[in-house]
Amino acid sequence: MSVSSLSNHLIRGAVAAAAFWAVSAAAAEPDSSGGQALVRRLTPSQYAQSIKDIFGEGIKLGGRFEPDIRTNGLLAVGTGKVSVTAAGFEQYYTMARTIAEQVTDKDHRATLVTCKPAADKAPDDACARQFLGQVGRLLYRRPMTAAELDTEVVVAHDAAASLKDFHAGLRVGLTNLLVSPMFLFRQETAEADPARAGSYRLNRFAKAARLSFLLWDSTPDDELLRAAESGDLQSKKGLDRQVARLLSSPRLESGVRAFFTDMLGFDEFKTLSKDAVIYPKFTNVLIGQAQEQTLRTIVDLLVNERGDYRDIFTTRKTFLTPSLGILYAVPVVVDRPINTPELWVPVEYPAGDPRAGLLTHASFVALHSHPGRSSPTLRGKALREIFLCQKVPPPPGNVSFADVQDTANPVHRTVRARVTAHLVNPVCAGCHKITDPIGLALENFDSAGGYRMQENGVDIDTSGELSGIKFVGSTGLGQTIHDSPAVTSCFVNRMFSYATGQAPTPGQAQFLTFAEERFAAKKYRLPDFLKEIATSEAFYQVDGPTRVATRE
């Protein structure tokens, strides 16, 4: 090794050491305050996942859910602002009865009812107490109180005596548990933080629930509840142990899917439709497959491969079905017997292919388009709101969109020409300037997500701009978004909001900055970032108790 190369080597070593100590020095979590202990209604996904985890895969729900409300860009934040309507309760009750009937029927009781009654046609309080206590603990995400359990045992007793059927009594008791607010709502309870005088934190069961719903999108399992019951979860070591266990589980995929389903606004697919005459390739099958393509891509990149979050905007790897292959006009070869569900195959596009990154997926370009035409405005707005956490105001009520909507205009034959004509109105120009230059880069994708190079016989110009950076086409846009610091900052904000169920407070600003630094230090790997959040104090720290903590 020459002197100069040794010198360079030493310098690099010194820089690396300095960087290491800088990161280590920054590793201390700053104090934060704010956030509330909330009452949050279970999302449909959380309800379904909880039932699946408690009773098994084969139990059908048999009902529908009330719509959630998107607040601050997330349904998760809206869950703290919704109640249950009378019609909604009917549905919850229908589902509860359907589930309870299946759990106690002859096919399932041997495995799901863990005790055997003394007689099948008479009450057995001991057995009922054992079953309802075990199940209630998982449903309520904490041990039932003696009074709660006594009540349900009496209910089961009376029903069994009246119906002359022990399992019918059990069914009534279980139905009660399933329609209880203790199950339908995550009730977060605060307690004084012994380590910080005057501060509060979630109690151990609320902590277990917040952790479990973040990482698994489901109710805490037995082991996590035991850690809460023993108090181990309130210790740093105990928390670290549980976080590591949850992160290493395959069920982490459910948590990641739930977060991105919320963040990407996939609930809007419920009302998505395309003109079947213009876009015959966009079938109803694609409504589900478009979402699944993106979720599979994300899970594979971020969880399986432990990749860089920013690469979701540039990755050339994805998963396709035959129907998606038709939509995208790319080959998808898969063995499938007639009349069986379509299978997924991993696909990698060649370098430079315009379909790189999830901004080119149908789940983005089709979701953020009109039924019969593409929309650079909707796409640009969605990109700013979803990935940059920027709010784009709605258009004024008195604007004419005639120019933009006239896709057969003989003069303005491309979307670019039509939106440019629309911009002569200065009232419109203000907002369109921040949306359209982004969305126009995706104009190679029609309203359904199909690729095109021309519109009305005119070559499509896909040049675009974001924050002064000019680019061309979907790959240029993807790379620009990938490199934008606002993207990771927004992601941190969204993830923390999702985890806590509320928009960050000013008192949490320092923590978010810290979290961004940690995210960067961890090379934007999602599991590592989730670990940072899940083991942080800020995640469980709340303002003073909103309710008196009388019940555990």
**Contact positions toward other proteins, by CB under 8 A?**
276-277, 280-284, 317, 322-323, 325-327, 329-333, 335-336, 338, 345-350, 353-355, 451-454, 457
The distance of closest approach from Cβ of residue 409 to other proteins in the complex, given in angstroms and rounded to an integer, is 19
8-state DSSP, 451: B
The distance of closest approach from Cβ of residue 326 to other proteins in the complex, given in angstroms and rounded to an integer, is 5
Could you tell me if 366 and 372 are in contact, meaning their C-beta atoms sit under 8 angstroms apart?
A: no
**Rounded-to-10 torsion of CA 432, 436, 437, 443:** -170
The distance of closest approach from Cβ of residue 442 to other proteins in the complex, given in angstroms and rounded to an integer, is 15
Range list of β-strands (E), 101-214: 185-187, 190-192, 200-202
- Please say which residue, 180 or 475, places its beta carbon nearer to other proteins: 475
- Please say which residue, 25 or 333, places its beta carbon nearer to other proteins: 333
CA–CA separation, 116 and 528 (whole Å): 45
Could you tell me if 310 and 488 are in contact, meaning their C-beta atoms sit under 8 angstroms apart?
A: yes
Kind and range of the H or E element at 320? strand 317-320
Could you tell me if 290 and 279 are in contact, meaning their C-beta atoms sit under 8 angstroms apart?
A: no
The distance of closest approach from Cβ of residue 328 to other proteins in the complex, given in angstroms and rounded to an integer, is 8
- Please say which residue, 43 or 293, places its beta carbon nearer to other proteins: 293
Of 298, 266, 216, which Cα lies nearest the Cα of 49?
A: 216
- Please say which residue, 462 or 488, places its beta carbon nearer to other proteins: 462
CA–CA separation, 363 and 274 (whole Å): 13
- Please say which residue, 219 or 315, places its beta carbon nearer to other proteins: 315
The distance of closest approach from Cβ of residue 454 to other proteins in the complex, given in angstroms and rounded to an integer, is 6
- Please say which residue, 330 or 434, places its beta carbon nearer to other proteins: 330
Find tokens 């620009």 and name the residue.
Answer: 480
Q: How big is the chain by its Cα radius of gyration, in Å?
A: 27
The distance of closest approach from Cβ of residue 310 to other proteins in the complex, given in angstroms and rounded to an integer, is 22
147 to 114, 143, 144, 150: CA distances (angstroms):
22, 11, 8, 5
The distance of closest approach from Cβ of residue 424 to other proteins in the complex, given in angstroms and rounded to an integer, is 31
- Please say which residue, 329 or 429, places its beta carbon nearer to other proteins: 329
- Please say which residue, 57 or 335, places its beta carbon nearer to other proteins: 335
Kind and range of the H or E element at 213? helix 204-215
The distance of closest approach from Cβ of residue 14 to other proteins in the complex, given in angstroms and rounded to an integer, is 42
8-state DSSP, 117: -
